[in-house]
Amino acid sequence: MESCDPATDKLYTQPESGMTKQKRKARKTLAHKKSSNSEDLQCEEIFEHFSANIDKYWHQRYLLFSRFDNGIRMDEEGWFSVTPEPIARHQAIRCASDAIIDCFTGVGGNAIQFAQRCKHVIAIDVDPKKIDYAYHNASIYGVADQIDFITGDFFNLAPKLKADTVFLSPPWGGPDYAKVKTYNIITMLRPQDGYTLFNTAKKIARKVVMFLPRNTDFNQLAELTLSSDHPWSLEVEKNYLNGKLKAITAYFSDTIVEGTDPL
């Protein structure tokens, strides 16, 4: 309890009694227990719908979405496939452009960040439930109206698409990708292999960005740059989170100046 002596205008603090300190400590302990119990209950509710494999990602939920407690929605695949928000934010800065297509948007982690950096965002997913989740999550961040959400197969839609940048974060095959020494983008990526993904995307935009497992074979990425009638430039970025290597991002760019023919 604080009091002010009007004569000296000095602030005094009355020492707390031992009993007062104990009561305050007890209240803090009780509040912590209530918070922990509420979190445990919420965690149990999550596990009722999803497998125990989600436990690891549950404890990282605020890295996935900083506004998780505002009502973020995800299916089970979304828990282990969504790009952590700090990485998605960085990718959005690197990909800032007039028009970008998020070809496998999932529950919207990347699309939300793109909408804060790009003028026009198209978010595509073959799963209508994921599109619903992505729209809902984008609404929480206040950017849903800045994104065109499309339910459909990217490969079927590709011939009609044009943009400055194509962002590819295809399914990696589940958490088991980390168990192999080297991730093969030809045999392990879904729903198509890495070459098909890249060759489809490069017809849409002059910049192609691929978000891939940290153990991806860099030689295969280099081979992609030579898979067209002229070489594309490549920059591979290692994405760290809390000091741990989480994934890589490959940035491909067309080296031919627009409006000229390759030699």
Domain ranges of the chain: 66-254
CA atoms within 13 A on the CB side of 242: 6
Of 134, 141, 129, the residue nearest 105 (C-alpha): 134
pLDDT of residue 9: 37
DSSP H/E element including 102 = strand 99-102
Task: Summarize pLDDT for 96-115 with one digit per residue, the tens.
Answer: 999 999 999 999 999 999 99
Rounded to 10°, the helix 218-225/194-201 angle is 40
Domain 66-254 has CATH 3.40.50.150: yes
User: Against a cut of 0.95, is the pTM above it?
Assistant: no
Quickly count: other Cβ atoms within 10 Å of residue 182's Cβ. Answer: 12
Task: Summarize pLDDT for 172-209 with one digit per residue, the tens.
Answer: 987 778 889 999 999 999 899 999 999 999 999 999 99
Confidence of residue 49 (pLDDT cuts 50, 70, 90): low
| Structure-token pair, residue 92 | 């959005």
Task: Summarize pLDDT for 215-230 with one digit per residue, the tens.
Answer: 999 999 999 998 777 8
Q: Is 185 exposed, middle or buried (0-12, 13-18, 19+ CB in 10 A)?
A: buried
Q: Are 131 and 105 in contact (CB under 8 A)?
A: yes
Question: Per-residue pLDDT averaged across 165-170, rounded?
Answer: 98
| Residue 141 CB partners (closer than 8 Å, separation 6+) | 67, 112, 115, 116
Note the maximum CA span of the chain.
90
Q: Are 60 and 136 in contact (CB under 8 A)?
A: no
Measure the N-to-C terminal CA separation of the chain; round to a whole number of Å. 82
Amino acid 191 reads P
Task: Summarize pLDDT for 6-31 with one digit per residue, the tens.
Answer: 333 333 333 445 555 565 555 555 55
